[in-house]
Amino acid sequence: MRVGVVQFPGSCDEVDALLAAERAVGAGNAELLWHRDRDLKGVDAVVVPGGFSYGDYLRAGAIAALSPAMESVAAFARDGGPVLGICNGFQVLCEAGLLPGTMLMNVGRRFVFRQVELDVVAADTAWTRATRRGQLLSIPAKHQTGRWYAPDETVERLVADDQVVFRYAAGDNYNGSSDGIAGVCNAARNVVGLMPHPEHAVDPLTGSADGLLLFRSPLEAAGVA
Amino acid sequence: MSPDPATTLPAPRELAPGIVPVGEAPGVEAAVGLGLTRDEYALVVEKLGREPVQVELAMFSLMWSEHCAYKHSKLLLKTLPTEGPALVLGPGENAGAVDVGDGWTVAFKVESHNHPSAVEPFQGAATGVGGILRDIFALGARPIAVLDALRFGEVEDSDRSRFLLDGAVRGIGHYGNSIGVPNIGGDVYFEGPYETNCLVNAMALGLLRQEKLMLSAATGVGNVVVLFGASTGRDGIGGASVLASAELGEDDADKRPTVQVGDPFEEAKLVECTLELLDKGLLESVQDLGAAGLTSSASEMASKGEVGLDLDVALVPRREAGLEPFEVMVSESQERMLCVVTPDRVDEVIAITDKWDVHGTAIGVVTDSRRFRVYDGDALVGDMPVPALVDDCPLYEIHPQKPAGGPAEIYPAPVARIAGGTPVRDALLALVGSANVADRRPLFEQYDPVVQSRTVRRPGQADAAVLMIPGPAGRRAVVGGLAGPTDIAALEAAEGSGPESGAPIPGVGVSIDGSGRRVAADPYTGTVWNVLECAANLACVGAEPLGLTNNLNFGNPEKPHIAWQLTESVRGLGDACRATGAPVVGGNVSLYNEGTTGPIYPTPVVGMVGKVPDVTVTAPLGFQRHGDAIALVGSFAPQLALSELAKLEGRALPDGLPAWDVERAVAGIVAVREAVRRGELSSAHDIAEGGLLVALAESAIAGGFGATVEVQPFAVDGDARASLFGEAPGGFVVSAPRTVLEALAGQVPVTILGEVGGGELRVRCGGETAVATLDELRDAHGSLARFFA
């Protein structure tokens, strides 16, 4: 299995995502995809990484959602390909209409870094198959515009359709997201977005290895693991 | 896309004899307005053989400013030790660098952005980060970490200080977070003398292979000078001379236009572009544009290469119309780089700058004239000998004189916040909640400490930050480039260095520190103390110092008492460097830090980098295990006179500090370092502000374990309060199995104080017992959060 990580100008965590993917799928099996290229190089899964794509000018993720690479990623997602959006990547996927909801400024209006606990709500998506429902994952979150928001009726529908993938554990929803939601998936369950950074939780030496489960999940979907 | 280079590349121009630059000479009064003295102006006239025209006067006034020429500090700085076994690059380049093993080099430097931050804290601090990062990647090093040292007035009493604190922290976060460089630590102090002149010092580290080190000297007559990055505007004009080289006054809001505005997105692209250009070997040299913009970077490149330059300001891309030639030459617009390229590679260089949207433009050419000639299209608008600009600024001896009345003559006593003789428990809680001791988390959680996947110890976890070197990202970049697949597993198998191999994972420990109050009391001893404290922080993570960078923040050196502070402090810095084995690899001097209420505390900020042989073996600052013994380790002779407790009691600064035995302090630091490296200590924390009892409380809070200790008064005169709250260098609070501590006692003074466990800190000393629960301590410790609500 090969994983592609989209690189925009202003991406920050693309190399971290690449290294995290390699830990899961093997060295040499992940590569960066340049934002101006439509060619996804035949990868089997795509990660849209964190950072400040195009400086987050206009609105976080808005310009990146219109990039040539994202056109191809959208087509890949419609064909059922696994796509993971992390932080800014989650914002990009929402802006691209691939995931429900939108991102607002944190309630405290500040950038906050904090190691948070994530509660796995749905363990049957392309990116959570290696986890268990109800499992708590220790993963860092770091953002200023990470308050996931959707109108109440949308939240109710997402809950009913089991499209809520992660919630912040009690006390950890510092950004004020609707219903404590930290991550969601699309109806087909192949596209997942979350605000915290699983690529920064792949080694106990740097804090936690819980995030590795997300990167291993596409392997299970593909029947490799 | 690029036009035919043969027709457009700048070429050296023939200059007929007797041709002088066009335009009137603004004259001596204009020169004085720009910060030159009358004598300096006369010297410029002598060097040119005529009066300088506008472009020349603007360039001389900047290059001969304190900020660029170090004219009051250079003679002192020459006394500092700059040699060491790990040294790769000493002072004089964009940053210093040390060898960290296996061919890896870490470049680092600290720089100040004090006056811009005092005028406009958000942009001042943001561009401070941006500037120091450019210094790092100009060497070909990938920026891997930022730290910062901040000083403000009394935040509890001062709206101004709250505003400055909030703005500076947001600015540092905005820039560093957006550019993907982790912020791994820093220090902050709140003291009255910083009220109108805050300090914002930013330090950056970069990583590179030693063979890739790039210097800034322009070489090769006929080579082309290419400017890339942001376009040039009016922002920051005169920043180096108007803001950085004069005292602050009442009308500083008027100086806001001299503060630059930063764009981290532009810089993020600039980092990647510069590193790609260097990786492909396309550049002869490169330099960032910082203070004094094009003037400083171009003339320093020419000076180091012993060449001349012809530059055409008409070719410089502008962000606004109507810029005068002198404005282009002195603009401090951010996110710009200048490089020298052989003519055959200009097209390729410009194509790469286009790929990263930081469009490069050829604006000049290297000549053999040793003159800096500025053209505006066909018109010659400046023509100066390079050595006159760069080397011939007069250096001044300063005239130190210790103030007869001691430091109290200069600095008023702080506001009293608790009564003298406050009971131990109440004093402890007051200290733990005081601005200089309280938890820094409300600041550092506004920064990203983990991006780039190297951070093993984050802020708040240990006394120093710890990074893996090269870390997985660094190793992958070297092996195959990040764009293509690489067989890391094969490499790791060959090196025996994979994560599962059990082989040591090398890294560095980094700390930045520098209390101004102790230096104000005693510039020599206080500075030694600051260096020892950095070394002690490193020891707690098993790091041995490789080198240090310093930022000397002082008042107006033309005043005798400031000259005395500066002279004594530099003498202390030199002696401490020799004692700890850490040479000075570079740094910065920031003078004229005086506001309307007088000079700042003299503040030499020290940033130290040390080698950690195995990052899996470092000690956290918090207690880890119920039942561990707790000990005071090291040669520690605390005194109350300069303590944080004395400050809370409103006591004036003492006149001088007692001398202690530096060699014994260093021996203690070495013993702790070695014990950490052997993996014997559960926790290690150096005793700093607040003394022994605060250090115990901090280890309890950080670890989530209480402790029961009994302290036999050991300070001078057997004073219980001095034992609990006194301060001095050389002491550590460590926890470990009792047998380990007993064995350690063979090498260094060890006093076993008690045991880890329970939900409270219980201390008995000199007949008094004090108890505080962990919750009480945590509540008090979190007091800074209210300034960011």
Domains and CATH numbers, chain A: 3-221 (3.40.50.880)
Phi and psi at residue B253, in whole multiples of 5°? -60, -30
Report whether B251 contacts B119 (CB < 8 A): no
- Map residue B651 onto helix, strand or coil: coil
Residue tagged active-site, from A14, A35, A87, A185? A87
Q: CB-CB: which of B446, B473, B486 is closest to A15?
A: B473
> Is B135 within any annotated ligand binding site?
yes
> What's the burial of B789, exposed, middle or buried (CB within 10 Å: 0-12/13-18/19+)?
exposed
pLDDT at B491 over 90: no
Measured CA to CA, the distance from residue A31 to residue B482 in angstroms comes to 8
User: Nearest residue of A to residue B491 by CA position?
Assistant: A27
Q: What is the DSSP letter of B350?
A: H
Of A9, A31, A205, the CB nearest to B268: A9
Least CA distance to B167: which residue of chain A? A110
Locate B577 and state its tokens. Answer: 């460097």
Instruction: Report the amino acid identity of residue B567.
Output: T
Cβ A51–B180 below 8 Å, yes or no?
Answer: yes
Give the angle B83-B150-B559 at the CA atoms, nearest 5°: 70
| Contacts with A195 from chain B: Cβ below 8 Å | none
| Mean pLDDT, chain B, integer | 92
**pLDDT for B172:** 97
Q: Can you list the alpha helix ranges (DSSP code H) found in B49-88?
A: 54-63, 66-69, 74-77
Interface of B with A in 481-510 (CB under 8 A): 482-490, 499, 505
B434 belongs to an annotated ligand binding site: no
Q: Say whether residue A37 is in contact with chain B using an 8 A CB cutoff.
A: no
Is B452 annotated as belonging to a binding site? no
In angstroms, the separation between the Cα of residue B183 and the nearest Cα of chain A is 11
For B677-701, how does the pLDDT look when each residue is reduced to its tens digit (9 = 90+)? 999 999 999 999 999 999 999 999 9
Which H/E stretch holds residue B529? helix B523-540
Give the residue from chain A lying closest to B263, CA to CA: A55
Q: Is B438 on the interface with A (CB under 8 A)?
A: no
Nearest CB to B788; choose among A10, A110, A199: A110
Nearest chain B residue to A208 by CA distance is: B456
Instruction: Judge whether residue B206 has pLDDT over 80.
Output: yes
Q: Which residues, numbered 255 to 274 in chain B, qualify as contacts with chain A under a Cβ-Cβ cut-off of 8 Å? A: 263-266, 268-269, 272
CB atoms A142 and B269 under 8 Å: no
Q: Residue range B709-726: average pLDDT?
A: 91
> Chain B within 8 Å of A35 (Cβ-Cβ)?
no
Q: From the CA of A162, how many Å to the nearest CA of chain B?
A: 32
| Strand partners for B550 | B587, B606
Superfamily of domain B19-81+213-390: PurM-like C-terminal domain (3.90.650.10)
CB contact under 8 A, A29 and B177: no
Whether B628 and B688 have beta carbons less than 8 Å apart is answered as no
| Residue B482: per-residue pLDDT | 44
Residue A101: the pLDDT is: 97
Chain B residues lying within 8 Å of A15, measured CB to CB:
452-453, 473, 476, 482
Kind plus residue range of the DSSP H or E element containing B206:
strand B199-209
Provide the Cα torsion A211, A214, A219, A220; round to 10°.
Answer: 110
Facing A10 at nearest CB: one of B265, B458, B505: B265
- Residues of chain A with pLDDT below 70 are 221-225
Under 8 Å between Cβ of B161 and B195: yes
Helix (H, G, I), strand (E, B) or coil at B469: coil
CB contact (8 A) between residue A203 and residue B446: no
Interior angle at CA B649, CA B645 and CA B651, nearest 5: 95
Partner-chain contact A206 B174, CB within 8 Å:
no
B450: chain A residues, CB-CB within 8 Å: 113, 140, 142, 197, 200, 206-207
Q: Which residue of B has its CA nearest to A9?
A: B269
B215 band by pLDDT with thresholds 50, 70 and 90: confident
Lookup result for tokens 């993720």: A61
Ligand-binding site membership of B288 (annotated):
yes
Question: In chain B, which residue's Cα lies nearest the Cα of A201?
Answer: B453
User: For residue A166, what are its two tokens?
Assistant: 């992660």
- Residue B673's identity, in one-letter code, is R
State yes or no: pLDDT of B308 exceeds 90. Answer: yes
* Distance (Å, whole) CA B660 – CA B670: 17
Q: Which residues of B touch A57 (CB under 8 A)?
A: 265
- pLDDT above 90 as % of chain B: 83
Q: Best mutation site among A5, A11, A12 for testing chain B: the one with the most B CBs within 10 Å?
A: A12
A110 inside 8 A of chain B by CB? yes
Query: What is the spatial distance between Cα B174 and Cα B179, in angstroms, rounded to a whole number?
Result: 9
Residue B771: exposed, middle, or buried by beta-carbon count in 10 A (0-12, 13-18, 19+)?
A: middle
CA distance B742 to A4: 55
Q: Provide the pLDDT for residue B2.
A: 46
Task: Please tell me which residue in A14, A94, A143, A199 is annotated as part of the active site.
Answer: A199
DSSP H helices in chain A: 14-25, 68-78, 88-95, 152-160, 212-221
On chain A, the residues whose CB falls within 8 A of the CB of B788 are: 110
Output the pLDDT for position A222.
66
**Which residues between 528 and 547 in chain B have a beta carbon less than 8 angstroms from any beta carbon of chain A?**
none
**Residue B473's pLDDT is what?**
86
Is any Cβ of chain B less than 8 angstroms from the Cβ of A117?
no
Q: Is B587 annotated in some ligand binding site?
A: yes
Per-residue model confidence as pLDDT tens digits over B525-584? 999 999 999 999 999 999 999 999 999 999 999 999 999 999 999 999 999 999 999 999
Question: What was the pLDDT predicted at B248?
Answer: 64
Give residue A119's pLDDT: 98
Strands (E), B232-360: 285-288, 308-312, 336-341
User: Has residue B731 got a pLDDT over 70?
Assistant: yes
Residue of B nearest to A115 (CA): B445
- The residue annotated as part of the active site, out of B72, B113, B561, B781, is B113
Cβ neighbours for A198, distance < 8 A, ≥ 6 positions apart: A20, A86, A137, A139, A210, A211, A212, A213, A214, A215
Q: Is B113 a catalytic residue?
A: yes
Least confident of B17-26, B358-367, B500-509: B500-509
Cis peptide before B394 (omega within 30 of 0): no
Residue B581 CB-density burial (10 A; 0-12 exposed, 13-18 middle, 19+ buried)? middle
- Mutating which of A113, A138, A210 best tests the B interface, going by the most B Cβ atoms within 10 A? A113
Say if residue B72 carries a ligand binding annotation. no
Residue B787 with chain A: CB contacts under 8 Å:
none
* CATH of region B619-789: 3.90.650.10
- Which amino acid, one-letter code, is at A106? N
Residues of chain B contacting A10 with CB distance shorter than 8 Å: 178, 265, 268-269
B561 flagged as catalytic: no
Mean pLDDT value across residues B216-225: 93
Domain(s) of CATH 3.90.650.10: residues in chain B? 19-81+213-390, 619-789
Q: Specify the pairing of strand B87-89 against strand B96-101.
A: antiparallel
pLDDT band at B261 (very low <50, low <70, confident <90, very high): confident
Residue B3: pLDDT over 60: no
> Between A27, A56, A110, which is nearest B488 by CB?
A27
Please report how the helices B691-703 and B774-781 are oriented relative to each other, as an axis angle in degrees rounded to 10.
100
pLDDT of B474 reads 85
Residue B486 has pLDDT above 50, yes or no: no
Gap from A156 CA to chain B (nearest CA, Å): 32
Q: Please give the residue of chain A at the shortest CA–CA distance from B268.
A: A10
E strand or H helix that includes residue B778: helix B774-781
| Interval B67-114: pLDDT, tens | 888 899 999 999 999 999 999 999 988 899 999 999 999 999 999 999
Taking only the tens place, the pLDDT of each residue in B450-474 is 999 999 999 999 999 999 999 988 8
Q: Which of B162, B161, B166, B131 is nearest to B146 (CA)?
A: B131
Residue closest to A150 by CA, chosen among A180, A107, A187: A180
Interchain CB distance below 8 Å, B445 and A112: yes
Residue B153 CB coordination number (10 Å):
24
What are the backbone angles phi and psi of residue A220, rounded to the nearest 5°?
Answer: -65, -40
With CB atoms and an 8 Å threshold, state whether B265 touches A113. Answer: no
Which residues partner with B697 through β-bridges? none
Of A19, A29, A55, the CB nearest to B476: A19
Give the gap in angstroms from C-alpha A105 to the nearest C-alpha of chain B. 14
Residue type at position B51: E
Q: 3-state class of A7 per DSSP? A: strand
Is beta strand B371-376 parallel, antiparallel or unpaired with respect to B308-312?
parallel
B455: which chain A residues are within 8 Å (Cβ-Cβ)? Answer: 206
Question: Of these residues, A94, A95, A143, A197, which one is catalytic?
Answer: A197
